[in-house]
Structure 1
Amino acid sequence: MRPSITHRKRVVAASLLLSALLLAAAACSDSDSAAPPADASPGADLGGDATPDLARRDAARPDGPAPDLLPPGPYVVDPSTLDRKVMFGYQGWFACPGDGVVDRWRHWFGGQTSSATEATFDAWPDLGELTPAERCPTDMQRKGGGAAYLFSSARRPTVLRHFKWMADHDLDGVFLQRFVSELGDPTALAMRDAVTGHVRAGAETHGRVFALMYDVSGAGEAGLFDALKSDWAHLVDDLGVTQSARYLRHGGRPVLGLWGLGFPSRPGTPALAQTIIDWFRKDAPQRLRATLVGGVPHHWRTRDGDAKPEPAWDSVYRSYDVVSPWAVGAFVDDAGADVFRKDRIEPDMAALAGGSASYMPVVFPGFSWANLMSGSPLNQIPRRGGRFYWHQVFNVIDAGVTMIYVAMFDEVDEGTAMFKIAPTQADVPTSGSWLTLDADGQSLPSDFYLRLGRATGRTLRGQLRLERTLPQNP
């Protein structure tokens, strides 16, 4: 069962088409708003200098004097607020034969043949730290000899290692995805519950934070509200997720994400969406009330493009506690990102100013789904050695945001993964086409994007001066 893949095929494909319009608009923009050259020389070293507070960072514009810098202390994640957080989406959906929960290939291959021709992911993960007990052998061969292997999210040591990587790189934590369409499948539900337990253990062991995020893709409209209420009660009452000291809170309540309402191919009328939001925010029993983060179309404000057109959606979106427009595939380069900032991010923030909803933009490192979508090119939206990602980070922080969602931590299916990726083509199987970190000509360590994630958080928190150019040696 792959409901999320269906959702992203539609949403990202539509966004990629829209990117052509964004690029055209970028070409017409005036010189004052033009992006700097993509390969501009790198900026400040990220080795550890930190400004003591946000006010001093905000005073230190790229064209102004730098503040005195102080070395940072150990970073402790505050679980009481989303403010100054960089949160990563975490799929946790990978499975393999012998993992003890799903016991079959899931999200690695289109069927149960683990060959390169059946692969449905592009970014090859760095698997060097897996223990023998964690390895899932495939039918592919390593270039150094022996079977190539992958991992299962159902195995706790693997998930705990991901959280160790987060701690090693000062990352705040994750939104764990939970697909409503899977809740009626006993095997899928067992997998989701198992991974939830692993994520909780990882956050508690390594001092990170976590929250759940529902994705309504593929769910039936008639049973959507009941399914959400029942499962959230299961998570709170049976699994006790909100009792964890590392479950993220904001405004005094547990944080809960709700992704997909308002997209044309997703279920939900404005009235149903409002009923769902109101229940979680104020009508549910006290123990089940939550601070809601809404994953919405990036055309939510104008109700065109990737958003449903009915005017009633205006009040629905504004009733979320946090609005987080989906941006993956909305642009393909720095010029498009600048148009997106001018046409979407800044007007979105202005529209929400003075209201009760906060704004949490989405940034992503690149995009590639050649193995998932036949005919699509490998490295479709190039990462450019981190420059594409960092340009977005500069834009959103410079615009004044206080929280950021990074898509995604472990999404190798569409090549947006920020966790450890194979550095070179020498590290992938002998067969197949795979995205590695040297795709754009740079030699990068496998944890390079985790390092950029650390730089993102430090900059958002005011520990690093905001720089337009990619940091050196993050």
Structure 2
Amino acid sequence: MGVSRRTFISTLAGGTAAAGLTAAGLGAGTARAAGPATAAAPAASGAGDVVGKITVGYQGWFACAGDGAPIGGTSPGGASGGGWWHWSQDWGQAPSPSNNAIKAWPDMREYARTYPTAYQNLNGGGAATLFSSYDQQTVDTHFAWMKTYGCDTAALQRFNPNSSEGPTRDAMAQKVRQSAEAKGVKFYIMYDISGWTNMQSEIKTDWTNKMKAHTDSSAYATQNGKPVVCIWGFGFNDSNHPFSADACLDVINWFKGQGCYVIGGVPREWRTGTGGSRAGYGDVYHALNMISPWMVGAIGNAGDSDNAYTTYTVPDQADCNAHGIDYQPCVLPGDVSARQRAHGDFMWRQFYNMCRAGVQGIYISMFDEYGEGNQIAKTAENASMVPAGSGLWALDEDGTACSSDYYLRLTGDGGRMLKGQIALTATRPTQPQGGSTSGSGGSAVTFKARANGLYVTADDAGASPLIANRTAAGPWETFDLVDAGNGNVALKAHANGLYVTADNAGADPLIANRTAVGGWESFQLVHNSNGTVSLKAQANGLYVTAENGGAAALIANRTTIGTWEQFDLTTG
């Protein structure tokens, strides 16, 4: 098994944010004002699949007994075989409170196939089951979430493929490719070279013989017309990354010679060559097309983020500008078990700091990292969704209710700010909401108006009326179709977690601003003979129309169904 990033961070920083900042001269008591906002610097590259985009790190490394995965070898707990890869310390035994390798429990309500564990039942009832990344449906579900919530590109983690994990890693690359193509999300290969003894030669062989074939995919990420590849681990000052500067530079130049755009996952002190970075690696870092410093373990609250903005982000961006390199710092939601998240305050402050520094892209650490507790994928909302006696915290650990998809929604908002679709703001556009915005008896859907062929959006993060004016579907264009009783449905907007209402008994345009479902929030979903649907408001018995051919807000004021009252409904 390759040594994971969590092992490196816990060794370097002692598992605490304070230790990471102390190493950089930023103790907990030395918070400074963030300083004035800087003007956005010109990018070294134009927009592509990583520049101007949100990239999420995708582990895809969870297996369960009985899933058919070929993972083998010896687990960290010492057992042979790998039935419960990354879910437990002893992979040969089912996960339990005494055999646990995760810091947060996933929201399991949308997985078609699940696997029983040795945990007690959930506090709210029901078996404590987990998913396997080896199931195609699991990967499909994850990539559907990426598409819905504005995650543009997935970086598939690939550790030493010549270890016992190799066959499973190979299979995961194909599964990710299939899901990315099906769901309309980009992906690329991200090599994690931690603990890879013969990396310099074997990484070239692996790319040539296996991974390069995936660049043929329509979903494989490109930048500046070149396939993207990332190498995480050059320059780290620890025993798991002993590679010389010459070896690292050789690998970078080889990939560039293969026509690739090369990203480097590097230490946060890469620019100064101190602390977590080996000295004398400046030429290595400056040979990269994009630099992506690692921040997990270095920051743990909004104040730490402001310190990092001054100490790392702003001077890093200036250095990259001077050398014609794209800059992609990472944003993390926070470790649930360390209670860092502060119902989104921590993550949003990072988005704000990155965007005001004018970065070229943002890397989310990570999508599915339940082991570090830094996942943005759907997570248990409250104690009812966590196994009894597990000791695991849910997303409401600080007393503020958060839906299981809240950090996916924050990621979507951060992406819009990066792209200039919403203004730079230190205030989160989407506030935490109690109760899941999906998976609670409803399906995630979008509506495309036949009036103009555009998607219906809960505009301005739900603060403005619904209108059909979007060419693509993201979180603001996604609604949960919820059973409202008596054969009716309600629409819960992903933009803000509130229900759509035909306000003022239908006299006003539709808007998502209600916390509960009543008569004004109930609609009859009419299925038309041509495959479209229409919505009949129970507030006044009239049909919802994309008024003025879609140029005006949706309103329930039509007595019959015509083209303007018809919508194409898509699920998932």
Q: 1:352 aligns with which of 314, 320, 323?
A: 320
Residue in structure 1 matched with residue 209 of structure 2 by the alignment: 234
Q: Offset at 1:130? A: 1.5
CA contact (8 A) 1:123 1:434 kept: yes
Query: What TM-score does the superposition give when structure 1 sets the normalisation length?
Result: 0.81
Q: Is residue 2:192 matched to residue 1:215?
A: yes
Residue in structure 1 matched with residue 138 of structure 2 by the alignment: 158
RMSD, aligned CA: 2.3
Residue in structure 2 matched with residue 300 of structure 1 by the alignment: 270
Match of 2:188, SS state, is: strand
CA contact (8 A) 1:217 1:267 kept: no
In structure 1, give the amino acid aligned to 2:247.
Answer: L
Structure 1 unpaired stretches of 5+? 36-54, 59-77, 283-287, 369-378
Higher relative contact order (CA 8 A, sep 6+): 1
Match of 2:64, SS state, is: coil
Match of 2:350, SS state, is: helix
In structure 1, give the amino acid aligned to 2:382.
Answer: T
Deviating runs (4+, > 4 A) in structure 1? 21-32
Q: 2:105 aligns with which of 124, 133, 140?
A: 124
Q: Output one character per residue of 1:147-199: Cα deviation in whole Å (capped at 9) or x when no partner.
A: 3110111111000010111111122121000002xx2234x111111111111
Query: What TM-score does the superposition give when structure 2 sets the normalisation length?
Result: 0.68
Listed as ranges, the matches of 1:260-279 within 5 Å are: 260-265=233-238, 266-279=241-254
> Using the alignment, how far apart are the partners of 2:310 and 2:233 within structure 1?
24
Q: 1:141 aligns with which of 120, 145, 148?
A: 120
Residue in structure 2 matched with residue 185 of structure 1 by the alignment: 163
In structure 1, give the amino acid aligned to 2:312.
Answer: R
The structure that has the greater radius of gyration is 2
Match of 2:210, SS state, is: helix
Q: Is residue 2:3 matched to residue 1:3?
A: yes
Residue in structure 1 matched with residue 532 of structure 2 by the alignment: none
Q: Output one character per residue of 1:314-357: Cα deviation in whole Å (capped at 9) or x when no partner.
A: 11100000011101111222222111111111111111223231
Listed as ranges, the matches of 1:23-62 within 5 Å are: 24=26, 27-28=29-30, 33=35
Match of 2:423, SS state, is: coil
CA contact (8 A) 2:413 2:430 kept: no
Q: Output one character per residue of 1:251-274: Cα deviation in whole Å (capped at 9) or x when no partner.
A: 211000100010112131111111
Identify the structure with the greater helix proportion: 1
Q: Offset at 1:34? A: 10
* Structure 1 residues 33 and 335, CA gap change in structure 2 (3 angstroms): farther
Q: 2:308 aligns with which of 340, 352, 360?
A: 340
> Using the alignment, how far apart are the partners of 2:116 and 2:418 within structure 1?
40
Identify the structure with the greater strand proportion: 2
Q: Offset at 1:471? A: 2.1
Listed as ranges, the matches of 1:90-105 within 5 Å are: 90-101=58-69, 102=71, 104-105=83-84
* Structure 1 residues 145 and 435, CA gap change in structure 2 (3 angstroms): closer
Residue in structure 2 matched with residue 243 of structure 1 by the alignment: 216
Q: Is residue 2:236 matched to residue 1:258?
A: no
* Structure 1 residues 219 and 251, CA gap change in structure 2 (3 angstroms): same
Match of 1:444, SS state, is: coil
CA contact (8 A) 2:32 2:306 kept: no
Count of aligned pairs between the two proteins = 408
Match of 2:119, SS state, is: strand
Residue in structure 1 matched with residue 375 of structure 2 by the alignment: 417
Q: Output one character per residue of 1:38-60: Cα deviation in whole Å (capped at 9) or x when no partner.
A: xxxxxxxxxxxxxxxxx9xx8xx
> Using the alignment, how far apart are the partners of 2:16 and 2:293 within structure 1?
12
Q: Output one character per residue of 1:408-465: Cα deviation in whole Å (capped at 9) or x when no partner.
A: 0000101100010010011111121113110111111110011011101111111111
